[in-house]
Structure 1
Amino acid sequence: MKSITTLLGGFALAITLVSCDAEIIIGDPIVEPTLNEVLSSHDVWYLDLNSSQGNLDVPFMTRAFTMSFDFGTLYANNNLVGIGRAGSGIGIDVGSYDTFFDTVTINHDIDGVHEFDVIVHSFRRIELRDTFNGDRYFLDGYSINGFDYDQLFYNNIQYFLQEYGAWEKVYTSNEGAINEFDAENHLRFRPATDADIFQSSQDRNGLSTGSLYWDYTGEYWVEDASPGSLNKHLTLDYDFLGNDYFDLYVIDDATIELYHVSSGTTYEFKGRNFIQLKSTTTSKSRMLDVERARK
């Protein structure tokens, strides 16, 4: 393992090179930044789980989209609802941290204490290596103003659907042919091991989410209308009826619009019972998608 003491010099040089007025005097010592300075050098660190290596079984690492290190307090964006606004962009307080030479110890409010060696790969990229099992997490640093929260939201919209206990139908357009989906008044989206799943209910509106009877459970997936597009297609897999296809639009953080392609009907659903995620074993983990991609 390369120690941070052998890599921070490159980090310091990267900082020096961005200044056009910097004067380099041969023989002057290079003052390397401390680990605290490295961690706080960017407003947010995006967790690149696709590049990370190992079992990656630290829950708060696999459920966060970004992390921020701020004077001993650890912040994270675990939810897509409100992302970019929560904590002025850095998310919510999820724990504390302390540094010692090249090691950061994180005390998460729910998941407890975890220790990582920090390896600096470049000015914007660091690695947190779990000292217990060697798992490697890669993080990319950004300023709040330079981070594309909208792109992050739409790239991970399948998780946004999972951040409410249920979605209640509040509008059906007059236009469109009568179809089986007209009877569905509630939807729920959940992560699962082999595929993300949805549930549907025909119960009347106004019931609490805990009182709903879920008539059907099947798989769902969200795809880009075209590569890299913010426009999305939602597929609900009804085994006995075949797949239902929708154009998916996000109206706001709690409202989605589904355009039923085959019938031409437009529906609106409101999110009920928002799930604030710090980290629990039952909440979403982005590792599920990473594991499926590696199979």
Structure 2
Amino acid sequence: MPDNDSGIHTIGVIGAGVMGSEVAQVFAQSGFDVVLVDVTDQALDRARQTIERNLRFQRMLGAQRGLAAPPTVDRAAVLARIRFTTRLADAADADFVVENVTEDWNLKRPVFEELDQVCKPDVVFAVNTSCIPITRVGGVTDRPSKIIGAHFMNPVSLKPMVEVIRGFHTSDETVQTMLDLLAAIGKEGVVVADSPGFVSNRVLMLTVNEAAYLVHERVADATEVDRIFKGCFGHTMGPLETADLIGLDTILLSIEGLYQAFGDSKYRPCPLLKQLVDAGLHGRKSGRGFHVYQ
């Protein structure tokens, strides 16, 4: 049981992709019970395998990326705290919910509408998004004051900070609940206002998109672009390595969302990025993106 007096003991994690799996893992490692929900058993099987692999190799991955890894954990005990289910109704047991559905409003909206009916009225919903407005999510629920953005960064287990987004109706109490919960899993939250892309992705997506243009225009290849950012600026990962880690499909959705929101040509997606996504080359999770992975 986690060491906190908030009354939050069970976390509902909706979406068991790369990000959702990591979020579930981190909460389970911190002693919380987790209900991990996805639409298919196949997705949940992949999530279980991902979590097992992450737990086995996270210290090594942290060292490779220059990040501080958590102490060695009992993998069996962590997995035992995660309930894998395809029923969204099982989130009724949750004291707090973190949603990680694909960055597509047409997919996210019905999930929140159903969660609003399933969950206890005092439960906070954290939207793990890089581009969906938090205020928009609040507007389709009967609990807009309890909707907040929690933009976790990948890999979640190794990143010490989370971008926390206050929507138009988000209450001070909800913000504090989010910050306290993050502290309970060893992370710091930085609170920003609700705006397309927030802070991190409004800057990062421009950087990734412009780096993709450099490759598209044959100014440099992907390896050279990333080497410059690591060698000249001290970045742990270059922008295109970062894009591959996040997933190029997610990157493209985020850039398209910014383009639609601002109507500014600087957010026009690079044709090479669109081509890679169309080809199914989504980065690390598919084995190839801007770089090739074994």
TM range (shorter): under 0.3
TM-score, reference length from structure 1: 0.25
Structure whose residues are more often helix by fraction = 2
Question: If you compute each CA radius of gyration, which structure gives the higher value, 1 or 2?
Answer: 1
Higher relative contact order (CA 8 A, sep 6+): 1
- Scaled by the length of structure 2, the TM-score of the pair is 0.25
